[in-house]
Structure 1
Amino acid sequence: MIIVLVTLRDEYISSSYATKHIIIVSKGVESKMKARKAIIMGAAGRDFHNFNVFFRDNPAYRVIAFTAAQIPYIEDRVYPPELAGSLYPQGIPIYPEHMLEELIRQHSIDDVFFSYSDVSHEHVMHIASRVLAAGASFTLLGPRDTQLKARKPVIAVVATRTGAGKSTITRLVADVIKEEGLKPVIVRHPMPYGRFYPVQHFKSMDDLSRYELTLEEEEEYIVHLEHGYEVLAGVDYAKVLEEAERHSDIILWDGGNNDMPFYKAEHTIVVTDATRAGHEMLYHPGEANLRGADTIAINKINLVDESTVKGIVERCNAINPDARIFPVRSEAYIDAPDRVRGKRVVIVEDAPSVTHGEMREGAGSYIARMLNCSIVDPRAYAVGSIRDSYNKYPWIGNVVPALGYSKEQMLELEHTLNAADCDAIILATPADITRRLRINKPVARVRFTAIDANKPGLREHLKDVVMKMIHKHG
């Protein structure tokens, strides 16, 4: 007797999702197969998207749990029934990742699906080994099973590591689209660290308060809003796509970490970080992004020497000879240089970049040295989870990670900065913490812009890309 399970997936048309499951059995065999029990490993982003598009209405699987990593305070929640669908009337529990083996054994799990990003290839295979040793199968879902197809053209901006400068490049693309008389809408990779909103539409700064964001969520939206661009995010990216199609001529995917796009793109730009040379092929799924890129932007070349940039170009050419490669300068500027010039400062950096992104320091330190500041070591003043982060991520230099995943953690950040013996704060995270915290010292904010290192450069190339899209779509 032979039992064959065939899964037929229709193309996504205007965000609609259709899945047909056909079970073919020989005579005398039960016509219904038992669903395979699964765990989805994630970090409040890719995991929920994979569930929504592959598992939610799929009777071949029963998702028993999500596990959570990288981001604090996102475990011990429940993916709500209204998002989980009719197969999950109680929702789906979320557990910390350290419980993985216990969950596999307790529930006799058949399959574990790895669904988060910006981790080394070695890390992925250590997880796979844990899963296999516990008796389950280990799987990575690919673009054909997870990407949604849009009715509007999509340009995706992704990266090889978090903190490479995706959002800066995304704004450059948005500027080019706007100059051609078209309206871009930016769709940001999900970060449901607080409430599970199916769709979030940010049109103005007031919306940042309306959605009760964490500090990490705000830092990904605020600069786009300051430049006049609408931003969409949420948890249900089919519904997000429908909203984006209503409000845009071209959709811009601004990725999170080094994750792959959720939408099928007509053109994919991958950003590499010159200050982390060699990482291009060492992290998941950054290497996959690089191999599939149409355009590669080598960002922050002004912070390294020419030989470093040359090495990155050679590695990129070796694995993706068809991609166009453009060196880009990431220029940092500070809004109030006189507040910090020559003074004793504490530097606050983007948290994901200096935590799991493994950056020792960022643009704040660059600006401080440029303005002859004395950088104060903040570790002696850190409290609570801010203090703990230096032990968890020992490569962090003399900077404060802008951790604000909860109200309690934001208070710990506020206490750390107010207790520091310094004259001023250099704020190099995109989020404006002065909107959320009461800081007892002057604060100067750092901003970034992408500038072509060569002429013609990335901007001229993007104009050609956009013009071809306009011609193709009329």
Structure 2
Amino acid sequence: MAQSSTPTPTLLLGAAGRDFHVFNTVYRDDPAHRVVAFTAAQIPGIAGRRYPASLAGALYPDGIPIEHEASLEALCREHGVRRVVFAYSDVTHAHVMHLGSRALACGADFVLHGPEATMLRAGRPVVAVSAVRTGCGKSQTARFVGARLARAGLRVAALRHPMPYGDLERERVQRFATRADLDAAKCTIEEREEYEPWVAAGAVIFAGVDYAAILAAAEAEADVLVWDGGNNDFPFVRPDLHLVLVDALRPDQVTTHHPGEAVLRMADVVVINKVDGAPAHEVARLVAAVRAANPAARVVRTASPPRLDDAAAVRGRRVLVVEDGPTITHGGMPYGAGFVAATRAGAEVIDPRHRAAPAIAAVFAAHPHIGRVLPAMGYGDAQRAALRATIESSTADVVVSGTPVDLASVLALTKPVVRVRYELEEVDEPGLGAIVDAFVAGRSRTPSTTIND
């Protein structure tokens, strides 16, 4: 049968991240498919915008609209959609297939594009850090790896999973080396949570929308690249060493979420993090689950102890705990490092709901699992103002900040803030550091894509 010359109407389901990357790598220059729209989930303020023509390419002179995911059926009917592509992360397998069922009911194919179709090939060695769930400790692990590589005398560049929440054209390629760079880019709180710790450590981190261009920019000034993953997604760049984290505090969430299960099965090394906070029998159960899913991977254990800058300042005081936003919202955690550190220090943690501004109350309503903590929501000016108002109106004596961002400075808070810091610590010997050292030594002996070539 002869193939039709009419492009297949295609709809990309996303969350301003992998969906853009899938478009760029699979569909942008493909005349056989016509992407009629992106849809948006998880991230507020994305729907109602357009993927600009300057990024969409010659086949899309008017750009591509971004619609609400709730409009899936209406979009399929309006445009005669015959292919629906799922392209976001950290959702249950059931969530994926409920969307698949909706697409199938509209008569469309339901597609998941995998690593072979979407991973870019780098000209430098790549260490990638992924996880089975949001909040496992990817970023602190990526920074540990980056520091270890730097101590070996290598120029390191980090590539962060996309967080393009502002002007997409301006954010095509982003490079951050100073706090001034973050300010100039008008980064959201969520972006600063990921970029600021790299900058504070004296490292350079790249992000944006067009990862072919981002990769080229990073390769121009680095000997080795570290992929700092987002959510539980698999890397956009093909790794030479793939580290995947699982959370010792969530032993039943190893193969429950997409694409975290796939990521686990792809891993070269599985890092079981936060073992300092979990019972030994739960860690053993987790090790068994990991080995059942990926018997070939090496397994190492690490700790992530939260430490207050000033424990005495919170002991016996009423405190409001602010936590990393994505970990507490779609990551599904009721609390994070801030709550653990505050309670261990003898603080009285108050419930932020009683003084929550309307925009923050809406977050609590959408995520009823959240405990007595305040997620650091700041995707836009309005949400940032609501976060500040909630903090300032609370009856707390002290704010305990478990988010990686300098919240007091970003929000100009008048209440005293005590920060919680958490860095990766090795438990096994030899452990993760030895694995990174062996990787460096091995790549230095390999003729192709060598370090310092």
1:150 and 2:122 aligned:
yes
2:393 aligned partner: 419
Q: What is the aligned counterpart of 1:64 among 36, 44, 47?
A: 36
Q: What is the aligned counterpart of 1:275 among 245, 249, 256?
A: 249
1:318 and 2:292 aligned:
yes
1:460: Cα distance to partner?
A: 1.3
Task: Note if contact 1:301-1:328 (Cα within 8 Å) is conserved in structure 2.
Answer: yes
1:182 aligned partner: 154
1:335: Cα distance to partner?
A: 2.1
1:164 aligned partner: 136
Task: Note if contact 1:363-1:428 (Cα within 8 Å) is conserved in structure 2.
Answer: yes
Q: How does 1:170-249 map to 2 (within 5 A)?
A: 170-196=142-168, 197-249=171-223
- C-alpha separation between the residues in 1 aligned to 2:443 and 2:116? 22
- Letter of the aligned partner of 1:436 in structure 2? V
1:3 aligned partner: 2
1:348 and 2:347 aligned:
no
Task: Note if contact 1:273-1:299 (Cα within 8 Å) is conserved in structure 2.
Answer: yes
1:106: Cα distance to partner?
A: 1.0
1:394 and 2:368 aligned:
yes
Higher alpha-carbon deviation: 454-463 or 348-357: 454-463
- C-alpha separation between the residues in 2 aligned to 1:231 and 1:276? 29
1:433 and 2:407 aligned:
yes
- C-alpha separation between the residues in 2 aligned to 1:460 and 1:117? 31
- C-alpha separation between the residues in 2 aligned to 1:210 and 1:147? 30
Q: What is the aligned counterpart of 1:44 among 16, 22, 35?
A: 16
Aligned length: 446
Which consecutive unaligned segments of at least 5 residues does structure 1 have?
A: 5-31
TM-score between both structures, scaled by the size of structure 2: 0.97
Could you give the per-residue CA deviations for residues 10-42 of structure 1, whole angstroms, max 9, x where no partner exists? xxxxxxxxxxxxxxxxxxxxxx71110001000
1:467 aligned partner: 441
1:358: Cα distance to partner?
A: 0.5
1:354: Cα distance to partner?
A: 0.8
1:440: Cα distance to partner?
A: 2.3
SS of 1:71 mapped into structure 2? coil
1:327: Cα distance to partner?
A: 0.8
Task: Note if contact 1:339-1:443 (Cα within 8 Å) is conserved in structure 2.
Answer: no
1:309 and 2:309 aligned:
no
- C-alpha separation between the residues in 1 aligned to 2:70 and 2:368? 20
1:260 and 2:234 aligned:
yes
1:360 and 2:334 aligned:
yes
1:123 aligned partner: 95
SS of 1:98 mapped into structure 2? helix
SS of 1:278 mapped into structure 2? coil
1:435: Cα distance to partner?
A: 2.3
- C-alpha separation between the residues in 2 aligned to 1:343 and 1:461? 43
1:109 aligned partner: 81
- C-alpha separation between the residues in 2 aligned to 1:304 and 1:267? 27
1:297 and 2:271 aligned:
yes
SS of 2:282 mapped into structure 1? helix
- Letter of the aligned partner of 2:185 in structure 1? Y
- C-alpha separation between the residues in 2 aligned to 1:96 and 1:352? 20
- Letter of the aligned partner of 1:37 in structure 2? P
- C-alpha separation between the residues in 2 aligned to 1:303 and 1:386? 29
Task: Note if contact 1:163-1:257 (Cα within 8 Å) is conserved in structure 2.
Answer: yes
1:390: Cα distance to partner?
A: 1.2
Q: What is the aligned counterpart of 1:100 among 52, 72, 79?
A: 72
SS of 2:136 mapped into structure 1? coil
Superposition misfits of 4+ residues, deviation over 4 angstroms:
none
1:172: Cα distance to partner?
A: 1.1
1:380: Cα distance to partner?
A: 0.4
- C-alpha separation between the residues in 2 aligned to 1:454 and 1:319? 21
1:179: Cα distance to partner?
A: 1.4
1:453 and 2:427 aligned:
yes
- Letter of the aligned partner of 2:101 in structure 1? S
Q: What is the RMSD computed on CA atoms of the aligned residues?
A: 1.0
1:340: Cα distance to partner?
A: 1.9
- Letter of the aligned partner of 1:3 in structure 2? A
Q: What is the aligned counterpart of 2:45 among 70, 73, 80?
A: 73
Higher alpha-carbon deviation: 257-266 or 463-472: 463-472
- C-alpha separation between the residues in 1 aligned to 2:131 and 2:101? 27
1:414: Cα distance to partner?
A: 0.5
SS of 1:264 mapped into structure 2? coil
1:438: Cα distance to partner?
A: 2.7
